[in-house]
Structure 1
Amino acid sequence: MQTSGSSIISALGAGSGIDFTKLAADISDATFAAQRNQLSARKTSLEAQISAAGQLRGAITGLAGALGDRIRSGDLAPKADIANASVARVSVPAGLSPRGTFSLEVTQLAQGQTLVGRSLASRDALVGEGTLTLRFGTVSGASFTADGARAAVDIAVTATDTLATLATKINQASGGAVSAYVANGASGAQLVMKGKEGAANGFVLEAAGAGGAEAPGDLSYIGWSPATNTTELQAAARDAAFRLDTVAMTSPTNRVTGLPGGFTLNLTGTNTGAPTSLSFASNPDAMSSVMGDFVAALNDIVSQINDLAAPIGGELGNDPGARELRRDLAGLASRVVMPGATGSEPRTLGDLGLAVNRDGTFRLETARLNRALETSPDAVAAMFTTGVNGVFATMDRFARENSLVTDPGSLGGSLKRFETQKAASDDRLAKIAEQQENLRERLTREFTASERRVSASQSTLSFLRQQVDIWSNSDR
């Protein structure tokens, strides 16, 4: 049976000096060139489609994310106004929208306990060996009530510990519950200890010295309890006390949370007997600004769709996911943002001034937005939060719907389909490369074997010719 390799040798002439290795490579390459070129072109097209679909998906998810960041940054939250700014600072966590006006009367600020110990000669004076125990609880006059939920802190004091090293050990052992340092005062070196704010953060020092005498150089000299010595107590631990709309409240710290609407107070002073007013107002300028930026971002997405999904020349010209995104954008203004809105309160993005032009682009009807801000400022402000309803939640759902890989009609479904097809093309190209290499190796073997056989035949022919010549010469 004649093979393709042997027929080529017959046609070209054996022993003609042809590079059969290159010939085998050229034949195997030409055999699969059409398939390979077709798949490579398809792969290039799919890569362009993947890039285009990814670009659009990134644009809509990026818009939703940027909108959420803008809301969380707090510049859309209602602005607080307090008549007596020396009493407190007001802050509103991102995404919350407190409303209304409140009266605030601060009668007491929270503070931590401060102890100033008895004097020693210097910060390097030895304090005496033993155990110093910190117990936490409430100090009231000459009594102390331990907090059973908090473990005591035992501090081992060695014979070489000084007032300075003892302060370091207290800081380390208490884990920040008590801060200690040595102050060099007019009467000598004194250990200063400060606890955290709040009445429950009072503390006592139980000292078990080795010497047993309450004198400098023995650890008992460092100990303190309200029953035995009150002169060292410079400030008692206490809670903040205030009235919000005349309702008495307390807080273990001067940072007060959990207030109506979620606002936070940082108490800075007292105004006993002279309540101040605290009010919240919407920020219409910030809301108008964000709506203008929102419309500009939507128009940028529309421009990208017009380019990438153009019927002629567009990478996504006939893609169902791109068509669905275009349809969804066309209906965006009518999407319900606040399903619980009542009466004339704004419900849709259209009520905030978002409108669609005939060419699919967007515009902001500022008159409609301003009317909503004037007539329903609280309802508009509620639309700019990070809750389950609102502008951000609507755009977040919009982005997720168009990114679903499980929905073949969405942009996410198209992206998954393109990636699957590209993976299949990659697999097919790998198989073709393998088949091409197998063919090259087989042809090389066949050509080499044919060349050897032809070379052997030529040698025999040459020998016979030589013999004939010899015989012919001998007959003369």
Structure 2
Amino acid sequence: MASTSISSTLGAGSGVDFQALASQLVDAQFATKLKNLTNSNTKLTAQITGISQLKSGITAFSNSLTTLVKGGSLATQPTSSNTALLKTSALPGAKLNGFSASVEVRQLAAAQSAATGALPSKTAPIGTGMLTLTLGTATVADGAMTDFTAGSGSPINIAITATNNSLTGIAAAINARNAGVTASIVSDADGSRLVLKGSTGAAQAFTLNATENVGFEGLSALNVGVGATGTTIGSVAKDAIVAVDGVAVKRSTNSIKDLIDGVQLDLVGASVGTTVTLGNSSPAANITQSVTDFVDTYNQLLTVIKQETDSKTGTLSADPAAKALTRQLAQLTITRLVPGTSTDGPTTLADIGIATNRDGTLSVNATKLSAVLAKDPAAVEALFADGTGASGNGLAGALSAISANATNPKYGLGVSADNYSKAQDKIAEQQEKITEQEDKLRTRLSTQFAQTDARIAAYKATQDYMKQQVDAWNASKG
């Protein structure tokens, strides 16, 4: 016989829908608790969303300003009168107001290059033994090295065995040593050549000498140096020669950072007798625009913060980290951004015309900003110097410190987000427990109602039997 569940038979004897009654009683007992938990969970979700908005807002604000400052557009930049010969850029921390110089590029730094004769295949074995690479200075004439003086560094030995004795293997073996000489293979209709190139600078010339294994000769065809006949010197190792304000100096590269304080010189071409004039360009226009952009972005972020922390409608009205962020931002205009400067020059945003309004928003006094830029451009520029990580190290540094404090996982918005998430986890646990309690109560009530329904059914059966007996007795008397 097929079994019948308790819940499906409830009410069969009494006619009462005990199943619906059990569900209604269970729902009524836990409805208030579930409603409160749902409301709390909804509030926590809104708080987590609010925290996420504040974190992303202050982080994006700080990162954007840092990127702008590091880009150099808010600092005085060096200029070159002839970028076809010489390009310039400012080094970190450079102070170039009033900077000027004259530079003559007499010679570019060059690297030695050498190429072997064409070989039929880049994968065919050449020979085995040892290749010795030596750096130093060289004299070259008509593609041949006529003299070489080894430098102070130790020669580099490169073992060539049966596993790497092709052009491809030899090039890989040379490159693996990272000795300042790179190897590549150039192929054309005539065959494949091993091409070697060193670093720039007269002291970076090189020789390559083979010590061959008897019976496996062939590596000497790759020799580079005095008397080598199988290779050709394509370019000669040279130092750059520049004259700064008439003083000639040599450097091993075409990118020079140690001749003029705060300026990197990138040599592009050489022209003896041509003087390149270096000067500087003011970032005043960029600073003015950036100040306006900063204020606009600050006010947009402040609007979001005020909405989230509103005492009546804000989801974060009682959040300590959100309140701390509000206080820190409010102090930004009066924070001393440049430590150690004289009190005569501007050291705060307020000093350059950025004012805090009664509602907490910022505004720019364009007239005051222009006047300060004209009077002390270097001091204004210092407020936007590249110095991130701590308050008192430029505006980017101050804002970065605020962002770091606000998002700190130990005491900032990160803690709030973590607390709200943990609270949601607890609510989920409580909801799960209530679901279990509901199931147990529903089962218990169903069992009790089934017993009641069975008793009622028994009473009805007895009643029907007695009625039948009475009816039968009355019929017999008639």
TM-score over 0.5 (shorter chain): yes
The answer on 1:295 being equivalent to 2:300 is no
Give structure 1 stretches of 5+ with no counterpart.
Answer: 1-11
Aligned amino acid, residue 439 of structure 1: L
Structure 1, residues 1-53: CA drift from partner, whole Å, max 9, x if none? xxxxxxxxxxx987134443333222111101012112222322332233234
User: Aligned match of 2:397 in 380, 388, 393?
Assistant: 393
Contact 2:348 2:383 survives alignment (8 Å):
no
Q: 1: distance between equivalents of 2:117 and 2:427? A: 84
Distance 1:353 1:16, change over 3 A: same
Contact 2:85 2:267 survives alignment (8 Å):
yes
Distance 1:115 1:310, change over 3 A: closer
Q: 2: distance between equivalents of 1:469 and 1:357? A: 98
Instruction: Please state how far the C-alpha of 1:294 moved relative to its aligned partner.
Output: 0.4
Instruction: Please state how far the C-alpha of 1:372 moved relative to its aligned partner.
Output: 2.3
Larger displacement relative to structure 2 (452-461 or 466-475): 466-475
Contact 2:221 2:230 survives alignment (8 Å):
no
Q: TM-score, normalized by length of structure 1?
A: 0.79
Instruction: Please state how far the C-alpha of 1:183 moved relative to its aligned partner.
Output: 7.0
Aligned to 1:452: 454
Distance 1:229 1:337, change over 3 A: same
The two structures, once aligned, show a CA RMSD in angstroms of 3.9
User: Aligned match of 2:157 in 143, 152, 155?
Assistant: 152
User: Aligned match of 2:127 in 126, 129, 154?
Assistant: 129
Distance 1:19 1:238, change over 3 A: farther
Q: 1: distance between equivalents of 2:421 and 2:118? A: 78
SS in 2 for 1:113: strand
Structure 1, residues 324-364: CA drift from partner, whole Å, max 9, x if none? 44444443321111122214221101123211122322111
Contact 1:128 1:209 survives alignment (8 Å):
no
SS in 2 for 1:233: strand
User: Aligned match of 1:178 in 154, 163, 182?
Assistant: 182
Aligned to 1:6: none
Q: TM-score, normalized by length of structure 2?
A: 0.79
Aligned amino acid, residue 401 of structure 2: R
Aligned to 2:110: 111
Aligned to 1:195: 198
SS in 2 for 1:75: coil
Q: 1: distance between equivalents of 2:250 and 2:82? A: 20
Structure 1, residues 125-159: CA drift from partner, whole Å, max 9, x if none? 98853346141311434234266456322334799
Aligned amino acid, residue 207 of structure 2: V
Q: 1: distance between equivalents of 2:398 and 2:352? A: 13
Instruction: Please state how far the C-alpha of 1:269 moved relative to its aligned partner.
Output: 2.6
Aligned to 1:5: none
Contact 2:222 2:230 survives alignment (8 Å):
no
Q: 2: distance between equivalents of 1:345 and 1:115? A: 59
Equivalent positions of 1:303-452 (< 5 A) are 303-317=303-317, 321-387=321-387, 388=390, 389-404=393-408, 406-407=410-411, 415=417, 418-452=420-454
The answer on 1:56 being equivalent to 2:58 is no
Q: 2: distance between equivalents of 1:320 and 1:132? A: 71
Aligned amino acid, residue 210 of structure 2: A
Distance 1:314 1:146, change over 3 A: closer
Structure 1, residues 68-124: CA drift from partner, whole Å, max 9, x if none? 12222332243221234333222346x64342334434443222212244577x668
The answer on 1:37 being equivalent to 2:35 is yes
Contact 1:137 1:146 survives alignment (8 Å):
yes
Aligned amino acid, residue 385 of structure 2: T
Equivalent positions of 1:226-241 (< 5 A) are 226-227=226-227, 232-241=232-241
Aligned-residue identity in percent: 30
Aligned to 1:71: 69
Q: 2: distance between equivalents of 1:38 and 1:241? A: 80
Aligned amino acid, residue 72 of structure 1: K
Distance 1:199 1:154, change over 3 A: farther
Distance 1:128 1:43, change over 3 A: closer
SS in 2 for 1:396: helix
Q: 2: distance between equivalents of 1:330 and 1:297? A: 14
Aligned to 1:283: 283
Contact 1:257 1:265 survives alignment (8 Å):
yes
Aligned amino acid, residue 348 of structure 1: T
Q: 1: distance between equivalents of 2:151 and 2:17? A: 98
Q: 1: distance between equivalents of 2:152 and 2:20? A: 91
Q: 1: distance between equivalents of 2:154 and 2:436? A: 72
Q: 2: distance between equivalents of 1:370 and 1:13? A: 89
Larger displacement relative to structure 2 (347-356 or 273-282): 273-282
Q: 2: distance between equivalents of 1:236 and 1:194? A: 10
User: Aligned match of 1:85 in 83, 94, 119?
Assistant: 83
Aligned to 2:255: 255
Aligned amino acid, residue 396 of structure 1: S
Residues matched between the structures, number: 452
Distance 1:85 1:467, change over 3 A: same
Instruction: Please state how far the C-alpha of 1:467 moved relative to its aligned partner.
Output: 5.8
Aligned to 1:3: none
Q: 1: distance between equivalents of 2:124 and 2:309? A: 83
